[in-house]
Chains A and B, each alone.
Chain A
Amino acid sequence: QNSVSALKGHDSNAPVDVEADRIEVQDRADRAIFSGNVNVRQTDLTMNSARLTVAYAGGASGTQIKRLDASGGVTVRSPSETARGSVAIYDLDRRLITMLGNVTLNQGQNTVNGNRLVIDLNSGRSTIDGQGVAGGQGGRVTGRFTVRQSSGN
């Protein structure tokens, strides 16, 4: 079973669609604040949360999103996995999705829990560790893996 995420090589430059109950765009601060069941979609990556802040660079050539900060119960979905946590930071420049706060990651039938999850969109690797947000001593990482029945019996 391929453990590399389908998000490998995900195009962070693709258009982003956001829906929310309320959007406040602050042009001076190059920031947009979304609140109320926020749903973000970029090609096959979707993110749902209660609140979202988008920081973008509005150069003359056009808009470029720098970072998405989602909070208030975040669910990140991709074709190959679903990750839940209380906070998620999608850094489009470094192409990293970092989730914090009792994170669970479901890949296929495997479930892994921890404090911090980092999905690297370049390599497609997801790493979970127990590292607390404030870098405290390691928390526990638990996981439940299902082993495929050997096809013999």
Chain B
Amino acid sequence: MSKAADLARGDRQSWAAPGAGHDRVIAALRILLPCAIGALVAILAVAPLTMGRDISFVLAKDRVEVARERLRVADAIYRGEDSKGQPFAIRAGSAVQKSSRDPVVKLANLSAEIQLADGPATIGAKTGRYDMDSEKVYIDGPVRFDGPDQYRLDTRDVEVDLKTRQVESGGAVDGQMRLGNFSANRMTADLAARTVVLDGRARLHIVQRGGR
């Protein structure tokens, strides 16, 4: 092209002329860009395996504020019905259930009320556990039964089945009833019939009061 034509073109036109700057840039890029893409893909493919430090985090159980039990209730009342359809209620100063899988509720200062044929009866204890599935109360430590006609039975470490109103001692037991205080290897009591059966080296100390 003539000198005059070259001078007539602006800088940008001359940069865009065939074989000039622009074409050189494009030629370079035609090679560089695919290589860059290939390299990037390679890096992405290899990166997870070579990455040393695991940047994901695990929620540390002990460091996070975890509630120890699933259910904590103050002044709990649990109502149910026994085999005869009569209502019973268990009141507790505090009731704690460890987890949903565990049907046992740990009770403190518990008092249960059951209906007997001739009147209400109450069962009071400091600590106990209530199994919601079997509807049994396991008393740890002393327990007092009060029933109609001044029926009273003091003993400890017994299992109370609220459905059948039967009481059973796990092992050796001692206690007091109006007839006197007793001790035995095993005790079962029927709150409804108000009978107490003592088995195995059973002893009864009867103190007589009242003039003859």
Contacts and interface: CB of A to CB of B under 8 A. Distances in A.
Given A12-B212, A27-B194, A28-B194, A60 B150 contact: yes
B203 A62 contact: no
B76 interface: no
Name the interface size band of chain B.
Answer: 20 to 34
Interface stretch (B47-55, B86-94, B174-182): B174-182
Contact of B197 (A22, A27, A56, A58): A22
A65 B151 CA distance: 17
Contacts of B149: 27
Query: Which among B150, B194, B196, B202 has the highest number of chain A CB atoms within 10 Å?
Result: B202
B152 to A, nearest CB: 10
A25 interface: yes
B21 to A, nearest CB: 116
A12 B203 CA distance: 20
Interface in A1-21: 12-21
Interface string B166-210: 000000000001111010100000000111111111111111111
Contacts of A20: 202
B206 A18 contact: yes
B200 to A, nearest CB: 7
B124 to A, nearest CB: 19
Nearest to A66: B212
> SS class of chain B's interface: helix, strand, loop or mixed?
strand
A23 B206 contact: no
Contacts of A28: 193-195
Interface in A55-95: 56, 58-65, 92-93
A16 B205 CA distance: 6
Contacts, number: 100
Nearest to A16: B206
Nearest to B206: A16
Contacts of A118: none
B133 to A, nearest CB: 31
A52 to B, nearest CB: 11
A60 B196 CA distance: 20
Contacts of A16: 205-206, 208
A42 to B, nearest CB: 9
Residue with the greatest number of chain A CB neighbours at <10 A, chosen from B150, B182, B199, B206: B206
A32 interface: yes
A21 B206 contact: no
A26 interface: yes
A27 B151 contact: yes
A24 B208 contact: no
B212 A23 contact: no
A25 B193 contact: no
Given A12-B212, A23-B197, A27-B194, A63 B204 contact: no
Given A15-B206, A63-B180, A92-B212, 6 more contacts: A13-B212, A15-B205, A17-B205, A21-B201, A27-B178, A62-B208
Interface of B: 149-151, 177-180, 182, 184, 193-210, 212
19 contacts: A12-B212, A15-B206, A15-B208, A16-B205, A17-B206, A19-B201, A19-B203, A21-B202, A25-B197, A27-B151, A28-B194, A28-B195, A58-B179, A59-B210, A60-B150, A63-B179, A64-B208, A65-B208, A92-B212
